[in-house]
Amino acid sequence: MMKANPGLEGVVVADTSVSDVDGERGRLVIAGLDVEQLARTATFEEAVSRVLAAGAATPVAAAGAQLGAARAEAWELISRLGDALDHADGMDALRTALAHLPSTTDDLAAAVRAIGAGPVFVAAWNRRRAGQPPVAPDPSLSHAADYLRMTTGRSPSPEAVAATNAYLVTVIDHAMSASTFTARVIASTGSDLLSAMVGAIGALKGPLHGGAPGPVLDMLDAIGRPDHAERWLLDELAAGRRIMGMGHRVYRVRDPRAAVLEEAARPLSSDRLALARAVEAAASKILRERKPDRPLAANVEFYTAVLLDAVGLPREQFSPTFAISRLAGWSAHVLEQRRTGRLIRPSSHYTGPRPA
């Protein structure tokens, strides 16, 4: 009889050229480059071009250059979205708004359309809930700069733009994450790319996947001072709760993206950076003592919280910002999935009653 493996650990479901995670050594390669190098040297537009090219069967070198036009195209839709953006949760708003984009069988056009629309919809959602009018995109700006400007209504500082760009590049893809798998399952049925994006957002929304950075900031606020960290963390564990931003399904060492984002957040001189480092050190020590057989180190969400807060995004916008970047990775995987042409359809183990 087949036994179920509910977390699918160790099950290889696809060959991919988009990215690779080495969980033992803490290494992440995205479209042929280490995440450290990509985050230091690439604009988000270049990273988009790279991942789409990695996933696509035919060359798509300059796809990222079309994002400004795609943002402008999405803006045309804003006035027609009505209350589709009026969700309390930004992920719900992004999911609903993306579903309004015109569908097309041209996957690459759909990918550029969705990646361009992400920041327009998320920034508009945030402004509407704050009672402010949405800000139109400026296609001449970089994706990172325009996203910040559309969110705050002000010209962002070069430091904030650089940090936001580094963030968007860093989280653009991460091998077979739950949301990526979701996107690939949807694509494998022959469904359209936008449907795959909408489904993937649903998967990313959960706190075990992309929903943790807001709670990480809540934790830092609750701790307040480095010397309070240990007591607070012990109480949290005693209450049966997990420490947000710690642990990962694949990494057995510190998530390499934590280091990249910690570095990228440094020029923003956030008070929270020093606190975050102290909390990470205390959490690592406590979890090492509590779970000596299961290495639990900081994951990407830990310094995501510090960085996105320091560039001026509200915490409710953290998970949608993750999604804005990951739309590119998901799209690359959809393009790649198309090349296999194979329906993903695993099996289950029936445990219910059988007819006599």
- Stretch of residues binding ligand COA (CB under 6 A), selected from 16-24, 79-87, 134-142, 292-300: 292-300
Please give the Cα distance from 212 to 135 (Å, whole number). 28
- Assess whether 248 carries a catalytic annotation: yes
CA distance 23 to 211: 21
Side chain identity at 189, as an amino acid letter?
A: T
Distance CA 75, CA 134 (A): 9
Q: Site for ligand COA (CB under 6 A): which residue of 171, 200, 246, 282?
A: 246
Show the site string, 299-318: x = touches ligand COA by CB under 6 A, - = not: xxx-----------------
Q: Name which of residues 168 to 227 contact ligand COA (CB under 6 A).
A: 208, 212
**Nearest-angstrom CA–CA distance, 169 and 30:** 10
Distance, CA of 268 to CA of 274 (rounded, Å): 12
Comparing every residue's Cβ against ligand COA, the nearest one is: 247
Residue closer to ligand COA, measured from CB, 114 or 300: 300
- What Cα–Cα distance (Å) separates residue 152 from each residue in 86, 92, 132, 272, 339? 18, 21, 10, 21, 41
3-state helix/strand/coil string of 256-279? HHHHHHHHHHHHHCCHHHHHHHHH
- What are the Cα distances from residue 55, in Å, to 46, 62, 299? 14, 14, 26
Out of 27, 242, 277, 315, the residue judged to bind ligand COA by CB under 6 A: 242
Rounded to whole angstroms, the Cα distance separating 108 from 327 reads: 12
Q: Is residue 276 a contact residue for ligand COA (CB under 6 A)? A: no
C-beta closer to ligand COA: residue 56 or 216: 216
Q: Does 244 bind ligand COA (CB under 6 A)?
A: yes
Q: Which of 245, 256, 320, 329 binds ligand COA (CB under 6 A)?
A: 245
- CB neighbours (10 Å) of residue 341? 8
- Residue 252 or 266 having the CB closest to ligand COA: 252
Least distance to ligand COA, CB of residue 41, Å = 24
CB 178 within 8 A of CB 36: no
Give the pair of three-digit tokens for residue 206.
Answer: 């959960």
- Cβ proximity to ligand COA: between 131 and 292 the closer is 292
Q: Which of 144, 243, 279, 311 binds ligand COA (CB under 6 A)?
A: 243
Smallest distance, Å, CB 136 to ligand COA?
Answer: 33
Q: How many residues bind ligand COA (CB under 6 A)?
A: 17
Give the residue, chosen from 249, 252, 266, 315, that forms a contact with ligand COA under the rule CB under 6 A: 249
What's the min distance (Å) between Cβ of 236 and ligand COA? 8
CB of 288 or CB of 291, closer to ligand COA: 291
Please say which residue, 9 or 83, places its beta carbon nearer to ligand COA. 9
Rg (CA), the chain: 20
In this structure, the number of other CB atoms found within 10 A of the CB of residue 194 comes to 24
CA–CA dist 231, 308 (Å, integer): 26
Tokens of 107: 């996957």
* Residue 301 is among the residues annotated as catalytic for this protein: yes
Contact 21, 28 (CB under 8 A): yes
Alpha carbon 144 to chain centroid, angstroms:
14
| Choice between 300 and 328, CB closer to ligand COA | 300
Kindly tell me which residue out of 247, 256, 320, 329 binds ligand COA, with binding defined by CB under 6 A: 247
Q: Which stretch binds ligand COA (CB under 6 A): 23-31, 66-74, 246-254, 348-356?
A: 246-254
Q: 136: burial class by Cβ within 10 Å (0-12, 13-18, 19+)?
A: middle
Active site residue: 45, 262, 301, 336, which one? 301
What's the min distance (Å) between Cβ of 266 and ligand COA? Answer: 21
Candidates 248, 262, 333, 336; catalytic one: 248
**Interface positions with ligand COA (CB under 6 A):** 208, 212, 242-249, 287, 291, 294, 296, 299-301
Residues designated as active site: 248, 301
